[in-house]
Structure 1
Amino acid sequence: MEASPGRVAGHRREHVKREKVVRDIFTMPRADYEQLSVLKQRCLDAGVAVKKSELVRAGLLLLASGPTKRLLAAVKAVEPVKTGRPPKSK
């Protein structure tokens, strides 16, 4: 007796545990935030759909994989911003 095409005996999908995610909130200048949209569009133009959080994580990978000198240069190039929530607009 053959198994039906929809059911294959003995083959189960392995359960892969996902790493727990952490939700955080941070502040950035509007120009940096808009840069995320530009980068998302560049990815879409190349045929890759990407989320903002994936772009941030990709940036972390790039910074982590480079030399400390490059990391420090990037940190120095970033304009410090006041932390906290911006005032509500009326």
Structure 2
Amino acid sequence: MSKPVARKSAVRRSARPSASAKVTKSDARAKATARPERKTKPEKKLAPAASNEHGKHRIKLVRDSFTMPRDEFERIARLKVRAIDLKRPAKKSELLRAGLQVLERLDDATLLATLNALQPIKTGRPKKRH
């Protein structure tokens, strides 16, 4: 025949402290102070020269996305090839940043004419095609 299985409730009852074994406040404080403190990660310290090659303060970066026509996106690829031919490979973000510097140097009339020459596009993400 099969052996009787011990009930879980009997095990739980035996694990409970008896009424005579009351915990006092001083015991609770002792247990609270005896707990090991959580280890925190040490702060990373940057050497002044290691933060930037030019010795400037760290630059805060912003991540963003935008929409542009395919032909203008292909211009970036052509400019990247030109930069490789000049023995100075460039990332897409570097080309965009350089373009901003060039635009900043334009006088107001030339900037306005350049902006007006752009074909207006619908902003936002393009719809997904299945």
Fold agreement, TM-score > 0.5: yes
**Aligned-residue offset at 1:13:** 6.6
Is residue 14 of structure 1 aligned with residue 49 of structure 2?
yes
Asked if 1:48 is matched to 2:88, the reply is yes
Letter in 2 for 1:32: E
Moved over 4 A (4+): none
Q: TM-score by structure 2 length?
A: 0.57
Relative contact order: is structure 1 or structure 2 higher (C-alpha 8 Å, sep ≥ 6)? 1
Computing the radius of gyration from Cα coordinates, the structure with the larger value is 2
Of all paired residues, the percent bearing the same amino acid is: 46
Is 1:38–2:108 an aligned residue pair? no
TM-score normalised by L of structure 1: 0.80
Q: Give CA-to-partner distance per residue, 1:30-85, whole Å, 9 cap, x none.
A: 00001100010011111111001111110100010121111111101111110111
For the aligned residues, what is the CA RMSD?
A: 1.5
Q: Could you tell me how far apart the structure 2 residues matched to 1:82 and 1:22 are?
A: 23
Q: How far apart are residue 14 of structure 1 and its match? A: 2.3
Q: Structure 1, residues 2-46: CA drift from partner, whole Å, max 9, x if none?
A: xxxxxxxxxx77243321011111110000001100010011111
- Would the alpha carbon gap of residues 89 and 67 (structure 1) be closer, same or farther in structure 2, given more than 3 Å must change? same
The answer for unaligned runs of 5 or more in structure 1 is: 1-11
Give unmatched runs, 5+ long, in structure 2.
1-46, 52-56
